[in-house]
Amino acid sequence: MEQLDVIGAFYLEAFDVDGNRLWGVTVLNAPVAQGLTDLLSVNFNAGTQKTQWFCGLIDNTGFTALASSDTLSSHAGWAELTSYGGNRPQWAPLTANGALIANATAMEFVFNASCTVRGIFICSVSSGTGGLLWSTARLSAARSFQAGQSLRVTYTLRAAGGSG
């Protein structure tokens, strides 16, 4: 029996108000059940393809857990962090190659208030809860930001098959 693994990795870099790099960290994630169901539906059962993807942040306030059953409209263990300007930045990946797809230009969040990030997610809408949640990831430790600081994110998605 063959096994298919779909694994995402976020690379996050924080910058101070003057553009100096503060830290960088890689956070692994996996798709939630809703994302995997959509993947199968679109590729094997004529489901409707999502043509745009966006990145959002998970607030540390009230955070308890991520769950594979989370959806964009229902996620009891977390809330979205919105202490940055504009909508969720778009994930604009290059062409898939070698079972890998990633964005070349980092998505950027510029914070307009003090906040603490606990996690990150990918979804199919730039705002609101009406879209599809693809994946979530929890940072190993919450990260605090001040107004004017920024977070740049690169997301890489890899598919791998093998014998199971």
Model's pTM, two decimal places?
0.94
DSSP secondary structure letters along 137-160: EEEEEEEEE-TT-EEEEEEEEEEE
Give me the mean pLDDT over the 77-89 stretch: 97
Better-predicted residue by pLDDT, 162 or 36: 36
How far, in Å, CA of 31 to CA of 1, rounded? 21
In degrees rounded to 5, what are phi and psi of residue 109?
A: -115, 125
List beta partners, residue 71: none
Give me the mean pLDDT over the 86-101 stretch: 96
Domain ranges of the chain: 2-41+52-163
Scan for tokens 């919105």, then name that residue: 82
How far, in Å, CA of 6 to CA of 158, rounded? 6
Confidence tier at 1 by pLDDT (50, 70, 90): low
Give me the mean pLDDT over the 19-42 stretch: 95
How far, in Å, CA of 32 to CA of 39, rounded? 11
Give me the mean pLDDT over the 49-74 stretch: 97
What is the per-residue pLDDT for 107?
Answer: 98
Give me the mean pLDDT over the 113-118 stretch: 98
Give me the mean pLDDT over the 34-41 stretch: 93
How far, in Å, CA of 90 to CA of 92, rounded? 6
Give me the mean pLDDT over the 128-157 stretch: 97
Better-predicted residue by pLDDT, 21 or 3: 21
CA-closest candidate to residue 79, choices 57, 54, 99: 57
What is the per-residue pLDDT for 164?
Answer: 54
CA distances from 106 to 53, 60, 84, 93, 109 (A): 14, 23, 16, 10, 10
Give me the mean pLDDT over the 124-136 stretch: 97
Confidence tier at 3 by pLDDT (50, 70, 90): confident
